[in-house]
Structure 1
């Protein structure tokens, strides 16, 4: 039986590594194997910022990948946590009765949804701010080059 609470927390905490996908769909899930790629690229961008500073243009592209993956996994955790018990069991526990406890919403599920909402929204807003700030800095630098 696939627990809705466990899937919610796996999507929130281990989502960028694809842990929730492996839990729900098994080790053959191709999306679960692809999720670590943008996560690793984003972490590489963070490391480039630490080594080269915030003026590194490649990191401007790579860091938002990490933020978008974290925000998408937080959204996935919210969707999992808010799924009705009957739909959860029909989709992830076929053959089980609609009222099986694996699809029930517990307080731990609610806390997982709340944490995913809080962190996911903060990460998404930070990612958007980071991306737009560096985009406009690049535009200003290019305009200065043209004007001189």
Structure 2
């Protein structure tokens, strides 16, 4: 039996590593194996900023990958938590009755939805702001070079 609450929390906590995908679809899930790639690239971008400073253009591209992956996994956790028990059990527990306990929404499920919503939107907005700020700063620097 696949538990909806556990899947929602795994999507939030371990989503960038693909843990929720492995829990629901097994170790043969290709997307679960691909999720750590943008996560690792984003962490590498953070390392590049620490090493080379904020002017490193590669980190401008790499860091938002981590943010978008975290935000996408938080969204997936929200979607898991909001599924009806009938739909959850039909998809992930096909041999169980429609109202099986594994698909029920409990307080811990609601907690996963709330935390995913708060952290997911925060990370998403921070990633978008970082990307746009760096892009416009780069445009201003290039305009100054041209004007001189």
TM-score (norm 1): 0.99
In the other structure, the counterpart of 2:118 is: 118
Structure 1 SS opposite 2:14: helix
Query: For 1:38-62, what per-residue CA distance to the aligned partner results, in whole angstroms no more than 9, with x for missing partners?
Result: 0000000001111111111000000
Gaps of 5+ in 1: none
Measured in 1, the distance between the counterparts of 2:93 and 2:38 equals 30
**Aligned alpha-carbon RMSD (Å):** 0.5
After TM superposition, where is structure 1 displaced by more than 6 Å over at least 4 residues in a row?
A: none
TM-score (norm 2): 0.99
Aligned length: 148
1:39 lines up with 2:39 in the alignment: yes
Measured in 2, the distance between the counterparts of 1:29 and 1:142 equals 44
Structure 1 SS opposite 2:94: coil
Query: For 1:92-131, what per-residue CA distance to the aligned partner results, in whole angstroms no more than 9, with x for missing partners?
Result: 1111110000000010000010000000000001001000
Measured in 1, the distance between the counterparts of 2:31 and 2:138 equals 33
Gaps of 5+ in 2: none
